[in-house]
Amino acid sequence: MPNMSMKKVPMPEQDPNVRNKNFLEVALGYTEQMAMEEAQRCLNCKHKPCVDGCPVNVKIPEFIQLIAQGKFEEAYNKIKETNNLPAICGRVCPQETQCEKFCVRGIKGESVAIGRLERFAADWHMKNGTASHDKPKKNGKRVAVIGSGPASLTCASDLAKLGYEVTIFEAFHVPGGVLMYGIPEFRLPKKLVQDEIDTIKQLGVEIKTNMVIGKVFSIDELKEEGYDAIFIGSGAGLPSFMKIPGENLNGVYSANEFLTRINLMKAYDFPNCDTPVKVGKNVAVVGGGNVAMDAARSAKRLGAENVYIVYRRSEAEMPARLEEIHHAKEEGILLKLLTNPTRILGTDDGWVKGIECVEMELGEPDASGRRRPVVKEGSEHVLDVETVIIAIGQTPNPLITSTTPGLDTKWGGIIADENTGATSIEGVYAGGDAVTGAATVILAMGAGKKSAKAIDEYLKSKK
């Protein structure tokens, strides 16, 4: 008998007033009982609309049925057939716009908690699982993968499973891309990302860190080194600034810098870790996406009293996940909506002392369908803050494109075929944020998967 409850089994979380002072994970995950109870809400529909909503087509009803039967390791293996990073996806995918959006149970009540169940299976395996995968038989062909974020990790592991000898080149000292430097510990524990990466290494994937492609090797030189195909998954790591006066004052950060200091360099543990970070009593975070939420919630955890999200549209237009906005509010983050910064004010010795803003009204919808904000006359006001974090987006880093003649780009992103990731250079594929600009982890993974398939077909056709 299915569990006909209209609502998801709630997931335990740390109390908001406790967790906003630590960097431990907010959501604590299901117990075995909770997972089995929630799994029983799945109707195991014949047409499986949820699967089509997943960019990597996880066999959702199948793995959920296995959880319902208490076969947790089997459930994990079922997910792993198509998804290489389940512990990560279960935590950071926007399920409400992907798999769970199409769940039949969502028509009259809440959808099945697919993300939470995926996370449960992955966590259960990490704690209790034993099976390490046999190394696939090598087919003698080599593929270079640039970057080690979600797109690259997915592409690399799919290719390794097919027998390719895969080398990942990562610029930073640890692999993982945005999973390591961008998404905070309290949403995605780094130990867990490391564990997922280790399972990929078990497939025989080699990861070379401290390698900035474009500087240490060009794309052509990688070919000369004997790689038969190349996948570029270098992400969108170039921060945008607002180009308003005062942006270079002391105390103004890009969200990338702020989060990299905290997540990658563990500045929250200064001086035990050597990298410092500075947070004032009052902090303004400019932007309304997930990165803005992450920065604001991190600032709060570093002891800031008042953390403002300054966003020029209304809450309905915020690109951040509802869950993250909800979490931020619970933790005491203050939303300054329909507010746009015009300049950052400094003290005589050059430190931030405030941010001047104007109020906005929503006008006619623009090309993107969102109502365009218009400045309200005479609404200038100053928010007293000592720290400003700019989180208005990132664009692809030009390091590779600028050193690769013949690689076509548009708006800074690499032009790649939507279905294969093929670029303007034969044998060179690209996917993830490097192509689309900043998007989601799961879309990057979907792109990595498609490219792996296309690279396999390309290299098979070549012999």
Partner 1 sequence: MFKIVKKKILNPQVKLMEISAPHVAKKAEPGQFIILRVNENGERIPLTIADFDRTKGTVTIIFQEVGKTTKALGALEEGDELLDFVGPLGKASHFENVKKAAVIGGGLGTAIAYPQAKKLHSMGVEVHSIAGFRNKDLIILEDEMKAVSDKLFITTDDGSNGNKGFVSDVLKNLIEEGNKYDLVIAIGPLIMMKVISNLTKPYGIKTIVSMNPVMIDGTGMCGGCRVTVGGETKFACVDGPDFDGHQVDFDEAMRRQTMYKKEETLSMEKHNCRLGVEKNA
Q: Which residues bind partner 1 (CB under 8 A)?
A: 171-173, 209-212, 215-217, 237-239, 241, 243, 247-248, 250-251, 253-254, 256-257, 260-261, 265-266, 269-276, 278, 349-350, 397-399
Output the DSSP codes for 368-408.
TSSEEEEEPTT--EEE--SEEEE-S-EE--TTTGGG-TT--
Count, in order, helices (H) and strands (E) of the chain: 16, 18
In sequence order, what E strands does 59-120 have? none
Q: How far is the CB of 15 from partner 1 (least distance, A)?
A: 30
Beta carbon nearer to partner 1, 101 or 201: 201
Least spacing, CB of residue 250 vs partner 1, in Å: 5
Smallest gap from Cβ 457 to partner 1, in A, equals 32
Query: Is beta strand 229-232 parallel, antiparallel or unpaired with respect to 142-146?
Result: parallel
Q: Dihedral, CA atoms, 433, 438, 440, 442, nearest 10 degrees?
A: 0
Which C-beta is closer to partner 1: that of 264 or that of 415?
264
Measured in whole angstroms, the distance separating CA 419 from the mean position of its chain's CA atoms is 21
Shortest CB 450 distance to partner 1, Å: 25
Shortest distance (Å) from residue 104 CB to partner 1: 42
Pick left, alpha or beta for residue 378 (phi over 0 → left; psi -120 to 50 → alpha; otherwise beta).
Answer: left
d(CA 420, CA 427): 11
The CA–CA distances, whole Å, from 350 to 248, 342, 347 equal 9, 18, 5
Q: HSE (CB half, 13 Å, CA atoms) of 312?
A: 18
Q: How far is the CB of 242 from partner 1 (least distance, A)?
A: 11
Q: Is the Cβ of residue 21 or residue 208 nearer to partner 1 in the bound state? A: 208
Q: What is the DSSP letter of 26?
A: S
H or E stretch including 238?
Answer: strand 238-239
Structure tokens at 283: 């902090």
In the complex with partner 1, which residue's Cβ is closer, 65 or 387?
387
Query: ∠358-361-366 over CA atoms, to 5°?
Result: 115
User: Minimum distance between the CB of residue 142 and partner 1, rounded to whole angstroms?
Assistant: 18
- Among residues 100, 121, 12, the alpha carbon closest in space to that of 52 is found at 100
Query: In the bound complex, what is the minimum distance in angstroms from residue 395's beta carbon to partner 1?
Result: 11
In angstroms, what is the minimal distance from the CB of 270 to partner 1? 7
Nearer to partner 1 among residue 215 and residue 381 (C-beta)? 215
Name the residue nearer to partner 1 (CB basis): 75 or 441: 441
Q: Which is nearer to partner 1, 2 or 276 (CB)?
A: 276
d(CA 229, CA 167): 11
**Residues 152/177, Cβ–Cβ less than 8 Å:** yes
Residue whose CB is less far from partner 1, 14 or 240? 240
Residue closer to partner 1, measured from CB, 75 or 355: 355
- Token output for 161: 């499973």
